[in-house]
Every structure is written in structure tokens, then in C-alpha cells.
Amino acid sequence: MVEKVHVRTTLNGEPTEFLVYPYQSLLETLREVIGLTGTKEGCNDGNCGACTVQVDDRIVDSCLVLGVEVEGKKVTTVEGLATPAGLHPLQQAFLEEASLQCGICTPGFLVASKALLDREPKADEHRIRHWLAGNLCRCTGYDKIIRAVQKVGATSKPARATAAQATAKRRPAGARK
Amino acid sequence: MHPFNYVAAKSVDEVTKVLAKHGDRARCLAGGTDLLVQLRAGVYELDAVVDIKTLPAANVLTLNGSLRMGSAVPCHRIYEDKAIAKAFPGIVDGASIVGGIQIQSRAGMGGNLCNSSPSADTVPGLIVHNAECVIAGPKGKRSVAAADFVTGVRRNVLKHGEFLLEVKLPKPDKGFGAAYERFTPRNEMDIAIAGVASSITLGANGKVKDAKIALAAVAPTPVQAKKAEEFLIGKEPTAANIAKASELAREAAKPISDMRGTVEQRKHLVGVLTRRTLTKALERAKEAK
Amino acid sequence: MVATRKPATGRPVNGKHNYKVIGTRPIRHDGLDKVTGRAIYGADIKLPGLAHGAVLRSPHAHAIIKKVDTSRAEKLAGVYAVITGADMPKADNREVDLGEGAANLKWASNNVMADDKVNYRGQPVAAVAAVDQNTALQALGLIKVDYEVLPAVRDVREAMAKGAPVILSGLVGDDLGKKVKNTNMARHFRHEFGNLDEGFKKSKLVVEHEYELATVHQGYIEPHNATAQWTADNRVTVWTSTQGAFAARRQIAGILRLDDSRVKVIPLEIGGGFGGKIPVYGEPVAAVLSRKCARPVKLLMDRKAVFESTGPTPGGTVKVKIGVDAKGKMLAADADIRFESGGYPGSPVGAGAMCVFAAYNIPNTRIDGYDIVTNKPKSAAYRAPGSTHVAFATEGVVDEIAEKLGMDKIDFRMMNSAKEGTRRADGPIFPKIGHEECLAAAKNSPHWKSKLVKNGPNGKKRGRGIASGYWFNIGLKSVVTISVNTDGTAALVEGSTDIGGSRASIAMQAAEVLGIPAEDVRPVVVDTESIGYTDVTGGSRTCYATGYAAYNAAQSVVSILKERAAKLWDIKSNDVDFKDGVFFNKSDAELKLTFKQLAKKLDETGGPVSATGSVDLSAAGGGYGIHIADVEVDPETGKTDVLRYTAIQDVGRAIHPSYVEGQIQGGAVQGIGWALNEEYFMDQQGRMSNSSFLDYRMPTTLDLPMIETIVLEVPNPIHPFGVRGVGETPIAPPVATIANALYDAVGVRFRQAPMKPGRVMEALAGKK
């Protein structure tokens, strides 16, 4: 008899708890259990990126993560990008650059792009394309998406070393996290 | 899918106990990028999954000349580590092309090995680096060469109650270089039509002291092109010898025709990729002298 | 590896105009919801007591259903209802006008739930509603179906071969007017003008080839969804992502044997369609499940089902033969177009016939078109359906003729170009069209003028190709209602589901007439009970026809407001003028009111102001595109990379240039995928092997360069702002463009799509 599991996590900055069956994916958990439908299902097998969310400091396909796995972790979805102060610069740029047509891939692209610019604000076109290759779009041909990311990158400050990079520098080779 | 329970393993014993208890109705969960897809497709019906990402021993990643990679370590940790990227570029070649960024946040070499698909991108690299697989089970630990780990399509040496704990790569000899390259119709998010890893160790005299060539997606398991390897040993690493070795590697390929490619195409690609990876491995070997 | 170049900026080459709103780039009205995750798409809908459904689909491409045993599934805890074809109302065998093609209701019903037979792998045979998704899926596993497997007919050649299994026993084929039984050929028609034999006799050079294309899918990222509730008063409410709420209603009502008015379709936001979300799939099934269990039922398709069970665009063959005189003037052209319609008739072969020679002025032509039933999912429209296929053929032959004559590729096309007054090869005479303008723009484009170094790094070979494409666009019916708010803004109600930014373009057209900013017109897309009949968002008709309806509604609003101003100034309404958003008293220049000022006075001048515009446009303005591609081929692997791509298109008028550019870029990229990698890979038993995004290879960000666009405006005389429609034309040229580029790169003419690496390798090996 498989029972639901009580999970405690941080979702878009807020402590959140929920009950979920072990076999339910994080995608299903977000959409059906928690009720945040901004993250979309496109293929349910890790090939389109529409379900991209951030878990701790990494983007993942939430269709390939179990809901129970985010115990104690930080999850960011598209609903967590804007603040009371306003839209995230990427959201604003997507609107200005017309980087969406049907919009179904947009949440995934926003979360993925944000993760890139957080660590590499000056990523060039090739790097942006490489980073976003796990997100499929069928409407735009990607052109205006890339331009929106470049636009935000151009106006942002060069990164201080991210936490991970700084730790890597300090940590002797071979030491574990 | 069939409802299963989830166990966040905290010790090696815990893992082997659950696996031993459920037999083939329990599997380890590392990145989940193969397992969840297979569960949905009904490839497996499980009562339990054991998460080894919560197991410290499966998350080891240490470079001490030799390299130890826990079986749950995701690809991005490998290629983002500058020291590892410098010491083992031939491993990073494979680790950095498994799926896209989202997949690489989760998928790792351990899972790639245990999934045992003929087209696994990280396995040929492990073979040509003489990697050793450390297996934990109810009776303790044992080691198997990476070259012997995969035994058939989706089949490997793991017995009832066992799981892959880590993969060890010995410190490369002076003059060692390796590379992996695959052919895919798209530039990312794709699966190898054919893949080849090559390693070359140059002796002090500049001749090939050792060579290893492992092929992906052209047989039920990753396959070593032994005749090509033997041909190169003791010879000058000239373009002509590399070309001949590539031809011999082609003969070792036993591919099928399927939706991803035909026999002819795959054999041809093996020749091309062997030449390219041997050339790259040689470059790296020269730099490492 | 994609070459990195400075991105082009792309400004429309404007026809002259003084518009205030049209041609600007406001943020789309629905944009905020879409970038924050608030927008509700079909799969997002939540309802009290919602049951989750799942569909059991045939594993066989062709089989008789002998028995379906659902007894074990019905007993599973958490299962609310199980249905099969026996539960479906028996629909009439009558045609229903969808605007974008007719649908036979019996076949449409069988397509959503088979009863006696399955004609494609993936055809639904049973469905379940349950407490949750997982239970529904488990229940499917408990349904036992006995099939008698029949041999599968896998393509047009097999279907037409002597002794081929007959897929639809009730099909009466129409062979040039003659009725044919026991056939897979649903229709054979012909268009013929002039004297073909004479034309070819006089020709100095005749080139003829056959081209073959694999089946490809529209590839929208959002799978199909359908939620339905059948209430005790025998009414059905449907929430769905659809390209046309009214078209969906008509299909659903027909299949359920209900009057249209008993079905209410509420269109939610839609995640792509490209024609594939015009047919209904889950809606009638969800409705019947709902009736059985007295709950709303949500049916979501998984990606495998999207590939295997929904309409792809047909594969098929296109033979084109063109004859030219010594100077290069086209004298005669003959085409034989054979499309597979899938398990039921109705491929877009008619549309293909309209496009095949549309770029050229040819005095003697004949086109034969065949609609052929095969054991594949019933084909659906895919963005300018048929045009890509025929352009692949015609533009390949054109390229070859130009080369053999030693003529410049653009000059040859220009010499033969269709223009106003030319007869299209299926009959209609062209009004003002822009093919010549596109050719001229191509010739002047930075891309065409740039030098291409033929030898790339590491032995790679580079080449450049150019090709022309056409789509006729359609008009049909739309209704728009505009109401004025007393704060000087306007509410705009319309029924065109918004797949790509159309509600903004429609609002902009109304704003232009009303003389207010685009942001001050608030558009909303509503259900079938809230607006007049509106045809599908497809056929590139939305900005054109619904925009026209909005224009009409806005003009009516202006008329009413003139009366209100007249009332205020105590003059006759024809003494009131309206210009640039200001109402003037013709005889007293001091007396004027802005739209906003007048809106404040609605209550004192007669109350609310609202007007409706309704159109039924029988004609539309066709659009041409010319694409240029630079490719780089690795001769060792056959891999082709697109280095540079330019799409030139006449859009009539670019209402919102960003979305116009976006349509062009998106269509071009779909075409690039079609050219290089996309295909339905069928096994010996007629089953699709690659029904996932892993092996159905659509281009990723890393597979493409920036897509440069050159937007031309040759205004469409019918539309008040000159709109032609933009969405479909851009998918017509790319496959031909890439083929011509490959020829320039490696000297091989590809006549089979996709031009995937294995095929390129084989061709290069054959060449040696």
C-alpha cells in the first residue's frame, strides 16, 4: 500500500508543504497538488523543456523529478520570477521583444534563461543557444527569444563569482560539498 | 504507472537491503532521466525506488591524480570542475553532451552505465580510461572493469541486491590523451547514431604505448575495437596509421539498421569518428607528455 | 556549430502610410499573463469534481475490432466510467462546413472513437474517466481488445497498387467525376488550361522530376486537451485549446447528435496549433464520459498520442514537369500531386494544386491531384498545407532549368513571374500580388549580395539556395463587438483564438480607427455564446478578416459617437468630422472633443455605445515569400548546418511588425526542420517508431542561426489597411530553399525530404 508523503520545501521563496504520492513527478505536484499551473507539460519525457523549473541552483525538467525529491530544497517556477516591485527583466524583455507567440514554452524559457544570466550575464549568442537547447519552441524560431536574453545580458552588470564558482576556487580539488 | 514507494537512502546497507528485498521490483534512482521515462512507458513495474542522491558515498567526486566519481554525481558537477576538466577532458567530452542543461543537472555517468543502453555517451569514455566500477551488494563490495560492466541491451553485471556505488579512473600515465565524439543529426538534445571514444598513451619514444577504442550505438553493448587497438600499439601515431586503425574499428562495429541509422551509415561514421577521436586523443597525449 | 554573426535588425519596408498605431510595436495585451504563468491554457483548467480521463489506442495500423471487454476496468476502484465506440451517438453521414475544409461526420466520429475498425495505429478504441490520472491509466491496462490484424497500407504508392487492401469499404472515390468503388483513392481532380502538348512541343528545354516527402507533424509544444461537462439539461460545455471555438462546436455537436446551440465551447489559451488543432479529438469523448459519470472530465493527450493519433500533414509524391523556350520563358507545366490523407479522406491536395504553379505565368498547364487513404492518422492542416510539398517540386525544377540555361536564379523567376492579371493554374485571376516585389527585394538583400566562400573549415562544403513560395490565404466569417468605456477606453470582444498575438493586432486595427492608443483597446477572446460565428484561427485569416470586422465595428462606433457629438453641439451628425481621434464641428473649429472627452459624456447623450462588425470575406490577398539559405555540409557525415537564412515576404500590411517577423521566422524554422530531419519513421507494420521529441527531430536553438526577415508591404486592395495575412506563406519555401542550397554545396539534387544526414551520405557516396 503506497501512501502519500509529507514534503516540506521552499517554493518561490515561501515555505511550502504538501502531500504527494511518491510516484508523482514534480511537474504533476506543482500543477495538480499545489495548483501552480504556470509550468507546462509538453512531452513528459525530458525532451522539450516546457516543464523547466529551478531546484536549488540548477534548472531541471520537472517531469523527470519526483515531487518527494524537493524535500528541503529551494524550488523556483515562473510564478516566482516577478516580485511585488515588478517583472523580472527577462519577463519584460520577452514582452518588448515579442519573444512569445503561443506562450506555452515561455515559462520554461524564462526559468532557463534566468538561470543562465544569473551565472553568466555576458553569455554570447552561441552560449545562450547552447544553454537553451533543452527548451523547444515551435512558434518563434528562437530568434526573438535569443535577442531578449541578449538584451537583458547587455544591460546587466558582470557577475561577481557565483557561490558555486567561489566555493570551487576555495575548495581543494577532491574535497566534497 | 504502478504505485511505488520512495526511499531516500542514507547508507549503503539501506540500499542493498531494499534492493535485495524487492529484487527486480526495486531500482536505484539517481538522476531519474531514464528511469522515470521507462516507468511511464511500462518498461519496469516497481514497488520501490531507492534514491542514492541522498547517499553521501554515491556523491563522492574527488580528483587525486585518479578520479573517483560517485554513481549519483550528475554530469554538470564533472564538467564544471575545472581541475577535472583539465585532467580528464576525454571524460568531460561525454559528460557534457548527455541531453541538454536540464538533463545534465541530474543525469550522471552512474545512471548512464546502469541503464546500459548501447548508445550510452559516457560509457565508451570510461572504457578507454580503464575505469573500474565499484559495486556494493549484500555480500560487500566488488569491482568490475567498465569494459565488462554492460553485458547486453539494458543488461549489466549487477546481481540481485547490488548497485553501482562509484566509478574509479586511475591516474592517467604521462603521455595519455583521450577523446569522445558522437554523431547526431541535431547539435544537442539528441541520441548517438554512433559514438567513439579513443585513448592513446605515447611512450617516451613517441610511439603508441597503449591505445583503446570503444564504440557506442553499433552493437548491443559498447564494444572495444580490439584489432584496431592492437594495430596501433608499437606504431608511430601517423595519419596513415590512424586511418588504418579507423578502418579496423569499422570492422568491429556490428550495427543494425533502425530509425536512427542504417548499417552502412553507422559503420561509415565509426570510421570517421575513430579517426577524429584518435587524432584528438593524440593531440591531448602530446600535451600531457 | 552555428556561425555567430551580428544579428540583423529587420525593419519592415513600409508601403507609405501615416498610421498612428499600425506599424508600431506595443506590448501585447495578453503578454503579462503569459510571461507570469497566469494564463490559463486548456490543461490548466480546474473544476469542482473533475474526473481525469485516459484513452486506449489501437496498437495496430489496420485491424478489425472483434471485441472490447471493459468489465475489469469498470470494477477498478476509482473508475467512474468506461466507454467504447458503442457508446458514441451514431452521427449522420453528412458534411459539415469547417471553413478550412469539410468533414464527414461519421468518419469524424470514428476518428475520435473507433467502432468496428481501426485505420491507423493510435486510433482510440476505448476511454476511461477516473479519480486521477494514474487510476485512469491503470484502468486502460485492464481493457481487453480482440483485433483481427490486417495488412497495413503505408504510403500513396502502396495504396494505389493493384490488389492493395481497401481501407474504407464505404468509400466511393471520385475519379475526375467518375465514381469508383473498392478503392483507396478518395478523389482525383484535374485543372487544365491551354494546350499542354503544344506547349511542351514548342519547348526548347523540358525538365521533369518526381519528389517525395515523408509525413511530418505540426509539432506544437502543447498536447491536445479537452474538458467537457454534460449537464442534466442535455447541454455540453467544453473547455479546450482550439483554433476555432465555433468550428469545434460544430464538429462536437455533429458527433454528439446535438444541435449546435446545445454545445458551448469555451476556448482557453492555446499552445500552438498550426492547423492541427482545428479537428476535435478528445472533446466528444470527454463529453460522452461526462454524460456517463455525471462529472466534468478532463482528457489530456500524451506526446506519443499527439504523434500517433492526431493529424500530421501528409507525406506524398509530387511530379512536376516544366518546359521553357530558348529564352527561358515557361511555355507548359504539368503536375501530379498525390497526398496521403491518412485513415479517412481529406488531405490538402486541393490547396497544393492551388499553389504548385502560383509563382509563375504559364500559358499551358495541367494539374492532377489525388487524395489517397492510407493507414496513418487522419491528416490535418499544417500551415499552408500542401504548399511546402509543391514548392519542393516546382522550385527544384525551376532551379535546375535556370542552371541549365545559365540564367541568374532570380532573373529567371522574374521573367516568368505571376503578377496582377495572371491566371493561377487552377483558374482564378490574380489581383494585385507581390511576387515580383519579393524577387526584387531578394536581389537587393544583403544576404544575396554577400559573398559565400564555398569551402568551409575541415573539408566542409558550403552552398546557397533560393526558392519561392505562395499561400492564397482565406477570408471567411468573423464578428467583433466594440463597446466604449466612459474612461475613453474600449472593450473589444472577438472569437478568434489567439495563437500568436492576433488579439493585439486586432485591437490595434480598432485603435487606429478610434484614434486611441493600442493599450486603450482591451481585447478579449470569448466563447461561442458570447460572440457571433467566427471561423477558425487559420488560413492566415485572423488579422485580415477579424481585423476587418474590428475595423467595421470601430467605424460604426465612430458613427454613433458623431451622433453623440452632434447632440452635444446641437448640430446634424453629418456636420461632425472625425480625424486623428478628434471629433470636430465642421462649422466651428473651436468645438472639438477627443475620443476620451466624448466618452466621458456618453451617459448624458444617450447611454452606452457599442457596435458590431461582421464580415464574410470570399476573397483574400495571397502572399509570396522568397527564402535564401546558406548551408554548410560535412561530407564525412552528411550533416547540414544552416549558416544564414533570410526570409522575404509580402504581408500586405504589417500591423504589428514584431509579430509579423515572428510568424515569418517561425514558419521558416518549421520548414528547416522539415527539410533536414523531421519525418514519421514507419516500421513494416505501419507503426510510427519515432513518436517522441527525441527521435522526431525538431530544430533546437543550437541548430539555427538568426532568421533575417525582410517584410514587404504590397497592400491588399480588399482590406482597409492592406492586410494580406502572414502566418502560412513562410513555411512554403524552406524545404525547396534548403534543397537548392545543398545542390550548390555538394552538387546533388535532393528530391526526397527530409534531407537527413544518412540520405546526404548515400547521395555523396553514389556520386563518387
Q: Can you give C619-660 as a three-state secondary structure string?
A: CCCCEEEEEEEEEEEECCCCEEEEEEEEEEEECCCCCCHHHH
CB contact under 8 A, C222 and A42: yes
CB contact under 8 A, C757 and B185: yes
Answer whether A93 touches C (CB < 8 Å): no
Average pLDDT over residues C248-274: 96
Look over chain C and give the mean of its residue pLDDT values, rounded to a whole number.
95
* H/E run at residue C403: helix C387-405
Answer whether C690 touches B (CB < 8 Å): yes
Domain-wise residue ranges, chain C:
1-14+437-468+624-768, 44-152+223-302, 474-617
pLDDT value at residue A156: 75
Percent of chain C with pLDDT over 90: 93
Q: What is the CA radius of gyration of chain C?
A: 27
Answer whether B61 touches A (CB < 8 Å): yes
Strands C490-494 and C476-484, sheet pairing: antiparallel
Chain C nearest C-alpha distance from B2 (Å): 8
Q: What is the topology classification, in CATH, of domain C1-14+437-468+624-768?
A: Aldehyde Oxidoreductase; domain 4 (3.30.365)
Task: For residue C93, name the pLDDT band (cuts at 50, 70, 90).
Answer: low
Q: How far apart are CA C15 and CA C652, in angstroms?
A: 8
A chain contacts of residue B4, beta-carbon cutoff 8 Å: 2, 22-23
Considering the four listed CATH numbers 3.60.20.10, 3.30.70.270, 3.40.50.300, 3.90.1170.50, the one that applies to the domain covering C44-152+223-302 is: 3.90.1170.50
CATH 3.20.20.150 fits C474-617, yes or no: no
Chain B nearest C-alpha distance from A153 (Å): 19
Strands (E) in chain B, as ranges, are: 5-8, 26-29, 48-51, 61-64, 66-70, 132-137, 140-145, 150-152, 155-156, 163-169, 176-183, 194-202, 208-216, 223-224
**A140 is written with which cell numbers?**
518563434
CB contact under 8 A, A45 and B99: no
Question: Of chain C residues 605-624, which have a CB less than 8 A from chain B?
Answer: none
pLDDT per residue as tens digits for the range C552-581:
999 999 999 999 999 999 999 999 999 989
Look over chain B and give the mean of its residue pLDDT values, rounded to a whole number.
96
Chain C nearest C-alpha distance from A48 (Å): 7
Q: How far apart are CA C492 and CA C480, in angstroms?
A: 7
pLDDT value at residue C169: 87
Residue C628's DSSP bridge partners are C466, C646
Chain A nearest C-alpha distance from B43 (Å): 14
Question: Of chain C residues 294-313, which have a CB less than 8 A from chain A?
Answer: 300, 302-303
Q: Can you give C703-751 as a three-state secondary structure string?
A: HCCCEEEEEECCCCCCCCCCCCCCCCHHHCCHHHHHHHHHHHHHCCCCC
Answer whether C403 touches A (CB < 8 Å): no
Chain A nearest C-alpha distance from B101 (Å): 6
Are C1-14+437-468+624-768 and C474-617 the same fold in CATH? yes
Question: Of chain C residues 195-254, which have a CB less than 8 A from chain A?
Answer: 218-223
Question: In terms of C-beta density within 10 A (0-12 exposed, 13-18 middle, 19 or more buried), how is residue A160 classed?
Answer: exposed
Answer whether B3 touches C (CB < 8 Å): yes
Give C141's contacts (C-beta < 8 A, 6+ positions apart).
none
Answer whether B3 touches A (CB < 8 Å): yes
With vertex at residue C41, the alpha carbon angle to CA C36 and CA C46, rounded to the nearest 5 degrees, is 100
Is the pLDDT at A161 greater than 70? The verdict is no
Task: For residue C765, name the pLDDT band (cuts at 50, 70, 90).
Answer: confident
- Give the 3-state secondary structure of residue B105: coil
Chain C nearest C-alpha distance from B272 (Å): 7
ipTM: 0.96
CB contact under 8 A, B32 and A66: yes
Answer whether C757 touches B (CB < 8 Å): yes
Average pLDDT over residues C526-551: 97
pLDDT value at residue C305: 98
Average pLDDT over residues B127-132: 98
CB contact under 8 A, A164 and B39: no
B chain contacts of residue A44, beta-carbon cutoff 8 Å: 40
Give the Cβ contact number of residue C190 at 10 Å.
Answer: 14
CB contact under 8 A, B189 and A47: yes
Is the pLDDT at C766 greater than 90? The verdict is no
CB contact under 8 A, C756 and B185: yes
Which of C636, C690, C695 shows the shortest C-beta gap to B272? C636
Enumerate neighbours of B (3 or more CB pairs within 8 A). Answer: A, C
Average pLDDT over residues C545-552: 98
Answer whether A68 touches C (CB < 8 Å): no
Of B47, A7, A21, B39, nearest in space to C78 by CA: A21
CB contact under 8 A, A101 and C25: no
Task: For residue C92, name the pLDDT band (cuts at 50, 70, 90).
Answer: low
B chain contacts of residue A107, beta-carbon cutoff 8 Å: none
- C47 neighbors C231 (Cβ within 8 angstroms): no
Using CA atoms of C415, C418, C421, C423 in order, give the dihedral in degrees to the nearest 10. 120
Average pLDDT over residues C229-248: 98
A chain contacts of residue B37, beta-carbon cutoff 8 Å: 45-46, 64
Answer whether B99 touches C (CB < 8 Å): no
Is the pLDDT at C727 greater than 80? The verdict is yes
Answer whether C28 touches A (CB < 8 Å): yes
CB contact under 8 A, C303 and A141: no
Task: For residue C677, name the pLDDT band (cuts at 50, 70, 90).
Answer: very high
Answer whether B22 touches A (CB < 8 Å): no
Give the Cβ contact number of residue C58 at 10 Å.
Answer: 25
Between B97-106, C41-50, C758-767, the lowest mean confidence (pLDDT) is in C758-767
CB contact under 8 A, B187 and C762: no
Of C382, C360, C404, C238, nearest in space to C732 by CA: C382
Task: For residue A169, name the pLDDT band (cuts at 50, 70, 90).
Answer: very low
**B31 is written with which cell numbers?**
538522476
Instruction: Give the residue on B whose Cα is nearest the Cα of C758.
Output: B265
Average pLDDT over residues B51-58: 98
Task: For residue C64, name the pLDDT band (cuts at 50, 70, 90).
Answer: very high
B chain contacts of residue A39, beta-carbon cutoff 8 Å: none
Task: For residue C99, name the pLDDT band (cuts at 50, 70, 90).
Answer: very low
Average pLDDT over residues C139-154: 97
Answer whether C18 touches A (CB < 8 Å): no
Answer whether C691 touches B (CB < 8 Å): no
Is the pLDDT at C11 greater than 80? The verdict is no
CB contact under 8 A, A37 and C43: yes
Which of A45, A115, A176 shows the shortest C-beta gap to B61? A176
Q: How far apart are CA C545 and CA C522, in angstroms?
A: 19
Is the pLDDT at A164 greater than 90? The verdict is no
Average pLDDT over residues B119-128: 96
Residue C49: DSSP 8-state:
T
State the pTM of this model: 0.96
Answer whether A89 touches C (CB < 8 Å): no
Which of B1, B186, B262 shows the shortest C-beta gap to C700? B186
Average pLDDT over residues C734-748: 98
Answer whether C673 touches B (CB < 8 Å): no
Is the pLDDT at C14 greater than 70? The verdict is no
Answer whether B65 touches A (CB < 8 Å): no
Of C574, C657, C610, nearest in space to C491 by CA: C610
Between A25-29, B105-109, C168-172, the lowest mean confidence (pLDDT) is in C168-172
B chain contacts of residue C675, beta-carbon cutoff 8 Å: none
* H/E run at residue C231: strand C225-231
Answer whether A128 touches C (CB < 8 Å): yes
Is the pLDDT at C69 greater than 50? The verdict is yes
Strands C235-240 and C263-267, sheet pairing: parallel
CB contact under 8 A, C220 and A138: yes
Is the pLDDT at C102 greater than 80? The verdict is no
pLDDT per residue as tens digits for the range C329-354:
999 999 999 999 999 999 999 999 99
Chain C nearest C-alpha distance from A174 (Å): 33
Is the pLDDT at C624 greater than 80? The verdict is yes
Task: For residue A165, name the pLDDT band (cuts at 50, 70, 90).
Answer: very low
Mutation for B interface: A61, A142, A162, most B CBs within 10 A: A61
